[in-house]
Chain A
């Protein structure tokens, strides 16, 4: 069973529909029940809206511990705010995150300019290239620099460069995907990224990551 974590912050239909589209036999459940998250074989942690609200809803629904536990040992996919919440802290409302991944989430500057001097808008909205930095089962069948759909004003800055699975440029390089052991998290929206996004979700539904060393049975 694949649990899509619902903490009341809007539309999760597109995430669950996209997973059902690529894995028609999968049992996909949109849930705010910690016990369902604990029972799931895979967990998707999506998100939209403002991070302070997301963190508050997560706590209010008793999902905080369940998410941290799932991130420890299950195939786990964070999307957008779901990626940002995994880090230690966000500049958005100076909000503490779950601290699963070391690093901060920062806002794009207000005066960004492109290579021809053109003004770059915030939010960073639209299709940008995703330059893969590591080989990973979730990149299978996806070319490096394939375009994915983004909509965000904040981006992660991992404290450990080894966590960066891909970067995009706006105009400077920023981490748009992070990976460690059973965790994979993306700033873009695979559920809205046409063929490339569906391929990533399909890869996730069949991914069997190696267990972390410290959680392997003795």
Chain B
């Protein structure tokens, strides 16, 4: 017995509210981040990730109020990402109560940001999010890094980028397959395994989960250290508790 594989529900927030219709029975306010976070904590979620999808920079600071409220009432680790551009952004999110900050587009624009933030606050709180898309017809398989929510190609090889982020001080990689995101057909297991085998830091698999078997596959075949999912939990199809029971039944060590 030892370290458990983690299950991480991911919540999109904008202007202080959780969006994408989280659907829990008996929830008084379907958009209240604290109430939703508490529900997931009760179900046994190992961590939470909040992704700030606020379009207007004017409303960006509203995430700070969410973080403060969640940190005062929910006592499991949580990561905040979305629109993080500077060490000062990292500082403000951590001071508000976030345990980890996830950096995506800004890492590509300025890789030194990862080194600076990690050097200042420690690798344990710096997650680098990588959105990767398969390059068609390559042998061996190759993936390209995309930014701006998957809209912008960078020409950067994803595996090479992962190695570089680890070297610069990332404590963890949140790896999303842009081919699978939203498809509900399962993780890109080749991508997940390639990253997990290559890196010394933990890898969180993301993108494509449609049922509980996909979560187990991410660990058993993708060798992920943690699995992240949104819709299968939000719409009440499955609870985190059910997901853990399923994974335990497959021989995966989980926190029950």
A104 at the interface (CB under 8 A from B): no
Give the interface segment out of A123-131, A133-141, A177-185: A123-131
A36 at the interface (CB under 8 A from B): no
A17 at the interface (CB under 8 A from B): yes
Contacts of B3 in A (CB 8 A): 120, 124, 126-128, 150, 170
In the complex, residue of chain A having the shortest beta-carbon distance to the beta carbon of B198: A119
Shortest CB–CB separation between residue A136 and chain B, in angstroms?
21
Known: A121-B225, A125-B202, A147-B255. A49 touches B75 (CB 8 A): no
A55 at the interface (CB under 8 A from B): no
Give the interface segment out of B12-20, B120-128, B205-213: B120-128
Q: Whole-angstrom distance between the alpha carbons of A168 and B4 in the complex?
A: 12
The proximity string for B residues 86-101 relative to A, scoring 1 for CB distances below 8 Å and 0 otherwise, is 0000000011111100
Shortest CB–CB separation between residue B5 and chain A, in angstroms?
8
In the complex, residue of chain A having the shortest beta-carbon distance to the beta carbon of B123: A123
B133 at the interface (CB under 8 A from A): no
A72 at the interface (CB under 8 A from B): no
Q: Is A126 in contact with B46, judged by CB distance below 8 angstroms?
A: yes
In the complex, residue of chain A having the shortest beta-carbon distance to the beta carbon of B225: A121
Shortest CB–CB separation between residue B4 and chain A, in angstroms?
5
In the complex, residue of chain B having the shortest beta-carbon distance to the beta carbon of A198: B75
Contacts of B120 in A (CB 8 A): 49
Q: Whole-angstrom distance between the alpha carbons of A48 and B172 in the complex?
A: 16
Determine which of A9, A147, A151, A191 lies in contact with B75 in the assembled complex, contact meaning CB atoms within 8 Å.
A191
A169 at the interface (CB under 8 A from B): yes
Q: Chain A interface mostly helix, strand, loop or mixed?
A: mixed
Q: Is A126 in contact with B94, judged by CB distance below 8 angstroms?
A: no
Shortest CB–CB separation between residue A29 and chain B, in angstroms?
16
Q: Whole-angstrom distance between the alpha carbons of A124 and B123 in the complex?
A: 12
Determine which of B2, B4, B97, B199 lies in contact with A14 in the assembled complex, contact meaning CB atoms within 8 Å.
B97
Interface centre among B6, B75, B225 (most CB of A within 10 A): B75
In the complex, residue of chain A having the shortest beta-carbon distance to the beta carbon of B121: A10
Shortest CB–CB separation between residue A65 and chain B, in angstroms?
25
Q: Is A145 in contact with B75, judged by CB distance below 8 angstroms?
A: no
Known: A10-B121, A110-B200, A192-B75. A125 touches B225 (CB 8 A): yes
Q: Whole-angstrom distance between the alpha carbons of A13 and B68 in the complex?
A: 9
Q: Is B200 in contact with A121, judged by CB distance below 8 angstroms?
A: yes
Q: Is A11 in contact with B99, judged by CB distance below 8 angstroms?
A: yes
Contacts of B123 in A (CB 8 A): 123, 153
B186 at the interface (CB under 8 A from A): no
Interface centre among A10, A18, A145, A197 (most CB of B within 10 A): A10
The proximity string for A residues 44-78 relative to B, scoring 1 for CB distances below 8 Å and 0 otherwise, is 00001110000000000000000000000000000
Q: Is A13 in contact with B125, judged by CB distance below 8 angstroms?
A: no
Shortest CB–CB separation between residue A190 and chain B, in angstroms?
9
In the complex, residue of chain A having the shortest beta-carbon distance to the beta carbon of B203: A121
Contacts of B97 in A (CB 8 A): 11, 13-14, 17
Taking CB atoms and an 8 Å cut-off, the chain B residues in 25-80 that contact chain A are: 41, 46, 68, 71-73, 75-77
Q: Is B122 in contact with A128, judged by CB distance below 8 angstroms?
A: no
B139 at the interface (CB under 8 A from A): no
Known: A13-B96, A125-B171, A149-B76. A50 touches B122 (CB 8 A): yes
Q: Whole-angstrom distance between the alpha carbons of A129 and B120 in the complex?
A: 30
Q: Is A126 in contact with B121, judged by CB distance below 8 angstroms?
A: no
Q: Is A129 in contact with B2, judged by CB distance below 8 angstroms?
A: yes
Contacts of A11 in B (CB 8 A): 94-95, 97-99
Known: A126-B4, A169-B2, A192-B76. A14 touches B122 (CB 8 A): no
Known: A13-B96, A147-B4. A126 touches B225 (CB 8 A): yes
Known: A13-B97, A121-B225, A169-B1. A127 touches B201 (CB 8 A): no
Shortest CB–CB separation between residue B204 and chain A, in angstroms?
10
Q: Is A152 in contact with B124, judged by CB distance below 8 angstroms?
A: yes
Q: Is A10 in contact with B125, judged by CB distance below 8 angstroms?
A: yes
B226 at the interface (CB under 8 A from A): yes
Shortest CB–CB separation between residue B26 and chain A, in angstroms?
21
3 smallest A-B Cβ distances: which pairs?
A49-B122, A127-B255, A151-B124
6 CB-based A-B contacts, threshold 8 Å: A17-B71, A120-B3, A123-B202, A125-B171, A127-B46, A193-B76
What would 5 more interface pairs be, CB under 8 Å, given A13-B95, A14-B71?
A: A119-B223, A125-B225, A129-B2, A151-B77, A169-B1
